[in-house]
Amino acid sequence: MKEKSDRDIAQDVLKKYDNESDKMEYTGIMAKIVSAIAISFSVFQLYTAIFGVLDAQLQRAIHLGFGMALAYLLYPTRKSWSRTEIHWLDVCLAIIGAAAPAYIVYEYQHLILRAGTVTGTDLLVGAVGIVTVIEATRRVVGIPMVVVVLFFLAYAFAGPYMPGILAHRGLTPEQLVSHIYFTTEGIFGIPLGVSSTFIFLFILFGAYLESTGLGKFFIDLANAVAGWASGGPAKVAVLSSGLMGTVSGSSVANVVGTGSLTIPMMKKLGYHKDFAGAVEAAASTGGQLMPPVMGAAAFLMAEFVGVPYVEIVKAAVIPALLYFVGVWLGVHFEAKRNNLKGIPREQLPKLGAILRERGHLALPLIVIVYLLVSGYTPMRAALVAIFLAIICSALRKSTRMKPVEVIRGLENGARNVLGVLIACASAGIIIGVVTKTGVGLKLASGLLDFSGGLLLPSMFFTMLTAIVLGMGVPTTANYVITSTIAAPALLQLGIPMLQAHMFVFYFGIIADVTPPVALAAYAGAGISGGNALRTGVNASKLAIAAFIIPYMFVLAPELLMISPDAVHIVLTVLTAIIGMVALSSALIGYLAANCAWWERLVLAAGGLMMIKPGMETDLVGVAIFAIILFLQRKRRTA
């Protein structure tokens, strides 16, 4: 029996841990039908982006209709069913799933004239629409998200029976269906609105970048830059995953995309399989924090906070760099501790040759950043970047896309958006319940009461809430939930909105490497052959920066570039980096030499002091770090 390649193993892992990737693989007429629907979906999105978006509910209803049809055709009712032949039940559900939003398009004028009054037919269609969205969520997103949605729906009816601050008058089925399906406060709310405009175009942009071979370019570039250093392949994983994060918003997909190459390289060099999988998991999870794309949740944040998307990108730059510095340091100290060498330079690609041959592939990314900074809307910037990606690929024969690949890019973009689209629709159900019952403010008040109204305890409990809600739930949906439930507690403490939303955004993402449900770590362990729990623990240690950075930018907003004082920003970043060095060395057990147990404790304390803003704590932290570094250097040379 032929042994599976690393790439095949990676694809199996992706399907196991990432529901969105476990799609049907049709042939014949069914493949053509699905392709036609997907291409039509992309054409509709491009048309409205070029010539003007339709009225909110119309745009979102058509967007959802296409998504529901594809979701039911590409994700079977049961995973045990044939992966190549369509089942009659899935065809029926695809038609029903698309028909419910189509009803809104057909009856749009009448629904407006009725001004919130719904008929019996409306209620029936709305109920069917809600149920089909929940079933599509089960297929595409996974059971954890369904459980959260059903919990909120149950809460909507159980209000009169709830204790204390959770009690409310309760909703009738008619009130619930009307609010969730026939207003822009439920399924057709802001999340689906962002999905139907910005997100789709950025995902389509990512699909075209993948087609040009940008992922391979990033890996080769990272190899040329860092492959020769101590622990080279692990540093390649950090760099390439950070670069891939600029176009990909999925931790698990990032792990598989770069990990299928970097994890075998790390193991060959001498890294333990549990650590090799952890490096890729931590680095790939951080990809969602890396501008300019940052995952779909960043677009939602711009809408929820009410600031231009470029402000979100600007605020994310320093925290993202600090995160990757933390992961890089962990990898570096582990390599030094185990005396792991890099790859010989003669075996690595040459930087100049890579840039000459494929450097043009990065032009669309550079342009999209320029356009965003210049004041273009994200939608217009993404649209320009899509066409530029196709044009840039044609500059060299080796990267040129054939006409069929351009068409295939339209299909891949529509397929790739399904996970975000369905997650946004189901998150809309949660928002609908929250806005109708007022539970968001009630939970925020309860959280503040529990923490005694103190800042640090409130932040700690908000962190736990975000991590728990993020376990097994996609980042987009997780951010919607945490920004609705947890962020209001921080807002009531007087924390500015951008900092509060970035706080829950970070911890929702870091749930992907936090045991016991650490999907990115599980994917890394699946490729490396390591233990999933130990891989998750190692990934959490490497990603320690992500557990600390949110506290830093709440206490020191200059890290989000909110303060115009450049000197203050530089000093804060510098002390934060030194603090990261101290913390990473404490966790790994190596700085300039192997650390004694007491040195690890002292380094951890010094690192935490530098993370808390303030001249006194920074000076004490730097002094502690300098003393330990001096002692270790002296011990090593003795």
pLDDT at 14 over 60: no
Q: How far apart are alpha carbons 556 and 319 in whole angstroms?
A: 11
Average pLDDT over residues 6-21: 59
* pLDDT score at 70: 96
Residue 358 has pLDDT above 70, yes or no: yes
Confidence band of 395 (pLDDT split at 50, 70, 90): confident
CB 208 within 8 A of CB 399: no
Task: Report pLDDT digits (tens) over 179-229.
Answer: 999 998 899 998 999 899 888 998 898 888 888 887 778 888 888 888 788
370's CB contacts (< 8 A; 6+ apart) are none
How does DSSP classify residue 272? Answer: -
Is the pLDDT at 574 greater than 90? The verdict is: no
Answer whether 388's CB lies under 8 Å from 364's CB. yes
For residues 541 and 600, the answer to whether their CB atoms sit within 8 Å is no
Q: Is the pLDDT of residue 2 over 50?
A: no
User: Does the structure show a pLDDT above 60 at 576?
Assistant: yes
Q: What is the pLDDT of residue 626?
A: 92
Tokens of 540: 């959490």
Q: Among 90-99, 228-237, 361-370, 616-625, where is mean pLDDT lowest? A: 228-237
Element holding 480 (H helix, E strand): helix 475-485
- Rounded Cα distance, 81 and 112, in Å: 42
pLDDT at site 131: 97
Closest listed residue to residue 140, CA positions, set 288, 297, 15: 15
More confident residue, 633 or 78: 633
Q: How confident is the model at residue 356, as a pLDDT?
A: 87
pLDDT band at 530 (very low <50, low <70, confident <90, very high): confident
The answer to whether the Cα torsion of 452, 456, 459, 461 is positive or negative is: negative
Cis before 516? omega within 30 = yes
Cα gap 128→493, rounded to integer Å: 41
Query: Predicted confidence band at 501 (pLDDT cuts at 50, 70, 90)?
Result: very high
Confidence tier at 21 by pLDDT (50, 70, 90):
low
Length of the chain as a residue count: 638
What is the arithmetic mean of pLDDT over 149-167? 89
Distance from C-alpha of 288 to C-alpha of 137, rounded to nearest angstrom: 22
pLDDT at 106: 93
Q: Which distant-in-sequence residues (6+ apart) come within 8 Å of 337 by Cβ? A: 588, 589, 590, 594
Question: 196: which DSSP letter?
Answer: I
pLDDT of the residue at 16: 60
The three-point CA angle 82-85-90 to 5° equals 90
Show Cβ contacts of residue 72 under 8 Å, excluding neighbours closer than 6 positions.
90, 91, 93, 94, 97, 136, 139
**Using 50, 70 and 90 to split pLDDT, how confident is the model at 1?**
very low
Q: Is 594 helix (H, G, I), strand (E, B) or coil?
A: strand
Residue 94 confidence (pLDDT): 95
Backbone angles phi and psi of 590, in degrees to 5: -150, 135
* 3 state DSSP class of 177: helix
Residue in the structure block whose two tokens are 């196991």: 16
This prediction has a pTM of 0.84
Report pLDDT digits (tens) over 468-480.
Answer: 877 767 777 778 8
Stretch among 2-11, 29-38, 232-241, 436-445 having the lowest mean pLDDT:
2-11
Check pLDDT > 70 for residue 11. no
CB 540 within 8 A of CB 530: no
**Residue 104: pLDDT band by 50, 70, 90 thresholds?**
very high
> Rounded mean pLDDT of 331-345?
82
Hey, which residues does 594 pair with through a beta bridge?
Answer: 590
Lowest mean per-residue pLDDT among 70-74, 289-293, 399-403, 489-493:
289-293
Hunting for tokens 């409205």 — which residue is that?
Answer: 48
CB atoms within 10 A of CB 200: 30
What is the pLDDT at residue 99? Answer: 96
pLDDT at 83 exceeding the cut of 80: no
Residue 13: pLDDT band by 50, 70, 90 thresholds? low
d(CA 423, CA 67): 11
Write out the two tokens for 231.
């622990």
Q: Tokens 């709440």 label which residue?
A: 554
Determine how many CB atoms are found less than 10 A away from the CB of residue 23. Answer: 19
Amino acid letter, residue 507: F
Rg of the chain over Cα atoms, rounded to whole angstroms, equals 25
| Cα 344 to the center of its chain, rounded Å | 34
Average pLDDT of the chain is 85
Confidence check: pLDDT of 429 > 90: yes
DSSP string, 500-555: HHHHHHHHHHHGGGSTTS-HHHHHHHHHHT--HHHHHHHHHHHTHHHHHHHHHHHH
Looking at per-residue confidence, does 95 or 376 come out higher? 95
Listing DSSP states for 7-76 in one string gives HHHHHHHHHHH-GGG------HHHHHHHHHHHHHHHHHHHHHHHH----HHHHHHHHHHHHHHHHHHHS-
In whole angstroms, how far apart are CA 316 and each of 291, 298, 503, 553?
A: 7, 10, 11, 10
Check whether 10 has a pLDDT greater than 80: no
- Residue 397: which pLDDT band, with cuts at 50, 70 and 90? confident
Percent above pLDDT 70 for the chain: 93
**Nearest Cα residue to 322 out of 83, 562, 518, 576:** 576
Amino acid identity at 287:
G
Instruction: Give me the pLDDT at residue 222, please.
Output: 83
- Choice among 18-32, 79-93, 358-372 with the minimum mean pLDDT: 18-32
Q: Please state the rounded mean pLDDT for residues 461-488.
A: 80
Structure tokens at 437: 């019952």
**What residues pair up with 590 in beta bridges, in sequence order?**
594
Confidence class for position 7, pLDDT limits 50, 70, 90 = low
Rounded to whole angstroms, the Cα distance separating 53 from 55 reads 7
CB 152 within 8 A of CB 482: no
Place of tokens 């920074």: 618
Over residues 111-131, the mean pLDDT reads 88
Place of tokens 């993404």: 382
